[in-house]
Amino acid sequence: MYPFAKHPPARPSSQTKRAIPLWPISLIGLALPLLWDASGLDLWVMAQLGSSHGFALQHNWWLEAVLHDGARQLAWGVLACLALMVWRPIGLFRQLPRRQRAEMLLGTLLALLLISTLKHHSLSSCPWDLQQFGGVAEYRSHWAWGLPDGGPGKCFPGGHASAAFAFLALPLSLLASELTTHRHTGWWCLAGVLLAGIVLGATQTLRGAHYPSHNLWTALICWTVALLNHLACRAFPQKTILRQP
């Protein structure tokens, strides 16, 4: 069954194949943060980057002004463009049903909302708040739910990395398509989003703002939200979401 259009494309079968199964990708994504957490390398990595005086790169101009502040503004701009594509599509988006474009936007927004909510209620403090790096907090694993560490908290998962990983809703939707051209574009889009997320996550790790695990969990959470959103959108009749153009 073609997951987005009302009728399957009337092109030769060589143009279509079965949609890529997304659960194996999800399981790989789950394994990465779990294995990293089991390694216990979070604190070791931060110890290589910081000292009792803090993190030397915390206020580095490239990391703070460009890759943090600038990238955040760019992400808001991309989100605004994605919203515009739902009603005024150009390029590749013109080839997609409005329902699919809306799914991409909704998945991105839900991921951003969930990450923000989790951070707001998190008791885990950032590395630069730890006593060994000049702060006041004691180290607590993010698995120590409900256990304050003496610091300000509100640091898990990685919020800045979500400025990129939230857009995983785009490649996921394309990879789930039966159209070969869409899936090919989806792989490139997935690579771009992952690369951007890695860069933004590494930026905050170098500055002392987040452990590597925080960024890995952000990626998994955003992918999971995108997947559940995709399945939910497919479960509803098309007319209950958006009228097709």
Give the model's pLDDT for residue 17: 55
CB-facing half-sphere around the CA of 114: CA atoms within 13 A: 21
Inter-residue contact 166 to 172 (CB < 8 Å): no
Q: Could you tell me the residue ranges of all domains in the chain?
A: 20-48+59-122+157-240
> DSSP class of residue 167?
G
The predicted model scores a pTM of 0.88
Convert the pLDDT of each residue in 207-221 to its tens digit.
999 999 999 999 999
Asked whether the predicted pLDDT for residue 94 surpasses 70, the reply is yes
Q: Please name which of 175, 166, 225 lies closest in space to residue 194, comparing C-alpha atoms.
A: 166
Q: Please name which of 163, 208, 217, 193 lies closest in space to residue 63, comparing C-alpha atoms.
A: 208
